[in-house]
Structure 1
Amino acid sequence: MKYFLSLSAIISLSLFSSDRIGKVPVYKIAVEAISMNEESLALRDFIKGEIQSTSRGTVTLPLKSLGNNGWEFDKEGNPSPKTQIRLGNLNDVDKLLLVSTEDGQAVISFVDVLHQKLEYRNSLPDSLSKTLVSDFLGFLDKKNIYLALSETGTGSNSPLKINSLKPTYIAGEPIRFEIESAEDNYVYVVLVPENQKGEPVLLFPNQIQNDNFVRKGDKVIIPDKRISFKAASTPSKDRIRAFASREEWKEFQLRGKKEDSFYRLLPPAVTGTKASHRSMMVVASSLTAPIEQSPVMEWEYQILSR
């Protein structure tokens, strides 16, 4: 989190057009069994059905000649050279979900194909495979929220205006700007880092400015002067995205550590085996709808090294 309290550089401030309106951000996920026993195939089909029925992603056609050899990652999630080559050969796939059941253990691994990184790996005894699936779906819900915050289409119908955000910043320079609303709205302001491995950070509301209902004509300084928000030393191109919503986003959790200034926008708590299949489906189907249905304006800025 502290990494995102520092930003990096860029050259132009731009307002994005409405050509991305209507885009529903979901990942293209290949779900594959890496051991072909009956239990592994059943687990593959079960989790594939869960993803499809709850609209958590687009499940692709089975991959050809996937095999169970060569999928190797170190403790940091980096692939071996052989695995790098295999991932590089995967086309039209965002994520690779590998499942297996061996020696009484069910295993789920989730790989970011583009960035060649193992993002999730967990295992439980076969008898707890549904609990394992629930844990993974909770992780995928978080990924879907971050994707919606980053990729939901912008348009010209947003009532929000941003002031004082400069086109360029110098490393270490404080970043602070003003949001103005032409209507009464709940406002959510997100930092989207250029590095796509990073996660969007909720700048507003935050632990000091926790009331994000902005009335027509009001102007709000973001972040509060009591919060340190500075540009980092590494040049980069980052985006500020401001969402206007008539209703509060009650579907999500706002959480942050006491020592951090900013919240994270997270999915509702999943109660594991106590959560019914029906309730999980209802939550997942509507999870990112508040984000996708809220008008959003986007600004881009650059940070220069000293």
Structure 2
Amino acid sequence: MKQFWILTAFLSLSLFSSDRIGRLPVYKIAVEVTNQTAEALLLRDFMKDQIQTTGRGLISLPLQDFESSVWEFDKEGIASPKSAEALRKLTDVDKLALITTEDGQAVISFVDVLHQKLEYRNSLPDSLSKTLVFDFLGFLDKKNIYLALSETGSGSNSQLKINSLKPTYVAGEAIRFEIESAEDNFVYVVLVPDNQKGEPVLLFPNQYQIDNFIRKGDKVTIPDKRISFKASSPPSKDRIRAFASREEWKEFQLRSKKEDSFYKILPPAVTGTKTTARSMVIPQTITASIEQSPVVEWEYQIISR
């Protein structure tokens, strides 16, 4: 069971801040090659075209003074000091995609520029380079869904009300609250970790509370008392976002590990197997249900003992 981290000393109820409303849930991505082979350049152009034409991201202009030899990451994906220094210079992109072809292999690496961390790395033989791109696009679909859960929605939500959420919590204390719906809705409650350092977690529905259709006036305790949901160190400031939807989000997979009580929201393409061109979902529609659902957001902080 995962534990979640929240920090410091007051509760603020915020109705979806105006700077987030209408934000397109895609990243600005720089796609570069680390070796100037004909195969790498063709793969780069194919990948850029796939990202841009399907709306999966905004492709940046080629990076000026791009150094192809500095990209090194440890086994946890943390950038080396030289790579971190190079990433700090990339002020106008969110993600960096690196393409390499060597010794008959094609390699795609995807780097979070802000956190200076390798998020994705995979390789296949050159003959399967397009399959490699589609596998990466499945991963990018997941990232776009998480961005939509964290930053989008149709505006302030008067249809949902939260009860019993305390102003402060102490690390290790159980967190439990109540959602009340003013209309008949499917309700999705998501925990968004601090500064996008982790992936959003679906608190409701969950493995014990599968039915998330809440009728007008009904109240539901989240999470179920059979689930332990605690704030713990290291301290951080997290957000809880509740979406009200007239329709069920059937286009998503809800998956968890056996030991987890809560779900991750994943696109249909992320199945744990290699994806193909035919199985890819066009993401202009994959995040629409999130973007169009009214959302209300609570930010709260936990004090350490």
TM-score of the aligned structures, taking structure 2 as reference length: 0.94
Aligned-residue identity in percent: 73
In 1, distance between residues paired with 2:275 and 2:236? Answer: 44
Matched residue SS, 1:297? strand
In 1, distance between residues paired with 2:7 and 2:154? Answer: 23
Task: Give the equivalent residue in structure 2 for 1:211.
Answer: 211
Task: Give the equivalent residue in structure 2 for 1:220.
Answer: 220
Task: Give the equivalent residue in structure 2 for 1:128.
Answer: 128
In 1, distance between residues paired with 2:97 and 2:217? Answer: 47
Q: Deviations over 1:145-203 (max 9, x none)?
A: 11111111462244111111112101111110000111111000001111421111100
CA contact (8 A) 1:26 1:58 kept: yes
Residues 53 and 228 of structure 1, relative CA distance in 2, 3 Å threshold = same
In 2, distance between residues paired with 1:138 and 1:155? Answer: 28
Matched residue SS, 2:187? strand
Q: Which of 260-269 and 14-23 deviates more? A: 14-23
1:62 matches 2:69: no
Report the Cα offset of residue 7 of structure 1: 4.2
Report the Cα offset of residue 258 of structure 1: 2.2
CA contact (8 A) 1:154 1:297 kept: no
In 2, distance between residues paired with 1:142 and 1:178? Answer: 28
Matched residue SS, 2:205? strand
Residues 18 and 301 of structure 1, relative CA distance in 2, 3 Å threshold = closer
In 1, distance between residues paired with 2:171 and 2:214? Answer: 31
Task: Give the equivalent residue in structure 1 for 2:262.
Answer: 262
Residues 34 and 274 of structure 1, relative CA distance in 2, 3 Å threshold = closer
Residues 256 and 303 of structure 1, relative CA distance in 2, 3 Å threshold = same
The runs of 5 or more residues in structure 2 that have no matched partner are none
In 2, distance between residues paired with 1:93 and 1:148? Answer: 18
TM-score of the aligned structures, taking structure 1 as reference length: 0.94
1:78 matches 2:39: no
The equivalences for 1:116-265 within 5 A come to 116-153=116-153, 155-265=155-265
Which residue identity does 1:208 align to in structure 2? Answer: Y
Report the Cα offset of residue 10 of structure 1: 4.1
Which residue identity does 2:61 align to in structure 1? Answer: L
CA contact (8 A) 2:3 2:229 kept: no
Q: Structure 1 segments of 4 or more deviating over 3 A? A: 6-10, 269-277
In 1, distance between residues paired with 2:155 and 2:274? Answer: 41
Q: Which of 209-218 and 10-19 deviates more? A: 10-19
Report the Cα offset of residue 235 of structure 1: 2.8
In 2, distance between residues paired with 1:65 and 1:274? Answer: 34
Task: Give the equivalent residue in structure 2 for 1:27.
Answer: 27
Task: Give the equivalent residue in structure 1 for 2:36.
Answer: 36
CA contact (8 A) 2:134 2:275 kept: no
Report the Cα offset of residue 288 of structure 1: 0.9
In 1, distance between residues paired with 2:100 and 2:158? Answer: 46
Report the Cα offset of residue 103 of structure 1: 1.4
Task: Give the equivalent residue in structure 2 for 1:93.
Answer: 93
CA contact (8 A) 2:227 2:261 kept: yes
CA contact (8 A) 1:141 1:284 kept: yes
Q: Which of 62-71 and 37-46 deviates more? A: 62-71
Q: Which of 180-189 and 232-241 deviates more? A: 232-241
Q: Which of 105-114 and 157-166 deviates more? A: 157-166
